[in-house]
Structure 1
Amino acid sequence: MTTAPAVRAGSGWSDTQLLHALEEVVETELNRHLKAAKEWMPHEYVPWSQGRDFDGVMGGEAWSPEQSKVTEIGRTALVVNLLTEDNLPSYHHEIATLFGRDGAWGTWVHRWTAEEGRHAIVMRDYLLTTRAVDPVALERFRMEHMCAGFQSDNRHSVLHSVAYVAFQELATRVSHRNTGHHCGDPVADRMLARIATDENLHMVFYRNLLAAALELAPDQAMRAIADVVTAFRMPGHGIPGFERAAARMAIGGIYNLRIHQDDVLQPVLRHLKSLQLEGLGPEGQQAQEELGLYLDGLEAQAVRFDERREALLARKAARG
């Protein structure tokens, strides 16, 4: 964890004050990230020899589901993951507007965007080359999703946005990794593992920045954490048919309440010691209490989901 500069600004911090106060932390984390990140080439993860022409102007073969070795749940998750990555221009606009384009903040924003751009490139090339997805339906979904754009749920506050991406980057990493495990193709599994490595480094950047914000402005940061955790939605929630796809992914073990609780929320909150943090003012204490109560309720929901999922899978196994 990087320690924030010892700067104070009355009882509360404006976004502008926070951006300036955290600049040194951003620079430190950026340098750490650049040392840890490894260059990789999207084209090296695509089995180009499997490719052939589609129907249309090239006069090739029309797509059909049996042409792919990817499982049905793998196809659903890959499409959701790709369409989420496709909205990168909207995400870039959001964070560049909030964090700025100058100094260490700006350098990070552009670096993050460049690294994230690889993910959509390699996933789309893989899906089309291996005929894992209907190319016409995929393009129509992409157009609809990107034309709708993306607007953050997080009040356009620096601390809310930092808190959101700390959890969201880990959620995306987990979703990619679990998709690889369930897709039935070792080539896709290797590709998604490579993407997940990027997402994990991005999570560490934002998690460490959030830890510094907790030292700098503990009450405001705790309020942001509680707000984000209790109202969390994945950035791809606007994808056409997202709720149906998310339900399939939940049952299929890609991403569900249990995974969200155990593999996303708890690791970040434990690292930050969010529920153990002392010395908070009234606002921070209230946010901390809300967070604890919410997590208790979420655990109860996750237990019920686990029971329903196990019963459903048992019925399917009995029929099969």
Structure 2
Amino acid sequence: MVLLVSVTPIEDELIIAVDKALPEIRDEYLAAGDAWKPHDLVPWDDGRNYAFLGGEDFTEADITVDPVVGHGLVLGLLTKDHLPSLHRLMAQHHPIESDWGRMVGHWTAEENRHAIALRDHVVVSRTFDVEKLELWRLEAVTRGYKQYEASIIDYGIVDQIAMLVFHEALSADYFSRLADYADKAAGTPTGLVETLRKIAFDDDLQKRTWLEFFPVLLDVNEENAKAIILEQARKVTPIGAETAAGLEESERIVHAAGIGTPEGDRAVIEGILAKWDLTL
């Protein structure tokens, strides 16, 4: 059963405008995409069985990557694990069979590809305690992203699009910086840098695609749309936030390397807002 939330007349106008613009934006998005295959970039020969299949379980001695790379993967992966709840927020106003449903579905598939790729690297190269990471994953997915009663009612089409613009912008910046760091760090597994750059490319393309809807939204009701866009810009959370408890060390290590810092995130968001003369 598809849950369709009741909407206001203005929301109806916004949805109609987005639906009209959607086919062209979606076609450009699909044409610009990079249909890469995560399994091509994972160093499978580096892997070995865990104890259940007669091998050895993870120990701290297995870690050969730079701490920034290892903890950076944790924060990025747990954020990608929020996929189900992000999809829920984006899909609530349209049937899955609609153009919007297919667009969101394609975006969902790409985000899932990112999570698969990152987890495969962690498991094969043993860059982090996989049992601890699994417990965090369970906590993150159970907790969800922006999972509270008001989100199902108050998140209209402008909220949804603005949320993804800012989320993808921060994610693209995060994975690009992590890739640059990993490229120079000792012990980085084969294929990881290219994987991180592929994810950064996808996220940047997604950011630019959702941004294409901003002029459409502003044409319907500029004052209302700008207010919501600014509200979402102020609500956006850092990569790794709203996932699991106990990540303070990971955040400290990654931020100390200049990746996903509050100052950097603010600069990314302000760069987007400046086009419409908005400031945080």
TM-score when normalising by structure 1: 0.76
Letter in 2 for 1:247: R
**Greater relative contact order, per chain length (Cα 8 Å cut-off, separation 6+):** 2
Q: 5+ unaligned residues in a row in structure 2: which ranges?
A: 1-7
Displacement of 1:235 after TM fit? 6.7
Letter in 2 for 1:231: K
Q: Is the 8 A contact 1:25 1:212 kept in 2?
A: yes
Measured against aligned partners, the alpha-carbon deviations of 1:48-80 in whole angstroms (never above 9, x if no partner) come to 01010112x212122123323321121111011
Correspondence list, 1:10-25, <5 A:
14-25=10-21
Asked whether 1:69 is paired with 2:64, we answer yes
Letter in 2 for 1:227: E
Measured against aligned partners, the alpha-carbon deviations of 1:137-196 in whole angstroms (never above 9, x if no partner) come to 111111111122222686312112211211110101111111222233263211100111
Asked whether 1:83 is paired with 2:83, we answer no
Size of the alignment, in residue pairs?
Answer: 263
Give me the whole-angstrom Cα distance separating, in 2, the residues matched to 1:162 and 1:99: 14
Aligned counterpart in structure 2 of residue 200 of structure 1, from 195, 201, 204: 204
Q: Secondary structure at the match of 2:126?
A: coil
Task: Report the structure number with the largest CA radius of gyration.
Answer: 1
**1:116 paired residue number:** 111
Q: Is the 8 A contact 1:92 1:113 kept in 2?
A: yes
Give me the whole-angstrom Cα distance separating, in 2, the residues matched to 1:266 and 1:237: 20
Give me the whole-angstrom Cα distance separating, in 2, the residues matched to 1:150 and 1:235: 12
Asked whether 1:256 is paired with 2:250, we answer no
**1:51 paired residue number:** 47
Letter in 2 for 1:16: D
Measured against aligned partners, the alpha-carbon deviations of 1:243-289 in whole angstroms (never above 9, x if no partner) come to 54333322221111221132x2133223xx211xxxxxxxxxxxx5x
**1:28 paired residue number:** 24
Further displaced range: 126-135 or 142-151: 142-151
Measured against aligned partners, the alpha-carbon deviations of 1:183-222 in whole angstroms (never above 9, x if no partner) come to 3326321110011111111101111111321222211111
Q: Is the 8 A contact 1:167 1:203 kept in 2?
A: yes
Letter in 2 for 1:89: P
Displacement of 1:17 after TM fit? 2.3
Q: 1:34 to 1:44 in 2, by over 3 A?
A: same
Q: Secondary structure at the match of 1:95?
A: helix
Letter in 2 for 1:18: L
Displacement of 1:116 after TM fit? 1.1
Aligned CA RMSD, in angstroms, stands at: 2.0
TM-score when normalising by structure 2: 0.87
**1:142 paired residue number:** 137
Displacement of 1:101 after TM fit? 2.0
Asked whether 1:125 is paired with 2:127, we answer no
Displacement of 1:236 after TM fit? 4.1
Letter in 1 for 2:241: H
Letter in 2 for 1:46: V
Q: Secondary structure at the match of 2:241?
A: helix
Report the identity percentage: 25
Q: 1:204 to 1:116 in 2, by over 3 A?
A: same
Aligned counterpart in structure 1 of residue 99 of structure 2, from 96, 104, 120: 104
Give me the whole-angstrom Cα distance separating, in 2, the residues matched to 1:15 and 1:151: 21
Give me the whole-angstrom Cα distance separating, in 1, the residues matched to 2:138 and 2:237: 21
Letter in 2 for 1:248: I
Q: Is the 8 A contact 1:90 1:150 kept in 2?
A: yes
Letter in 1 for 2:36: W
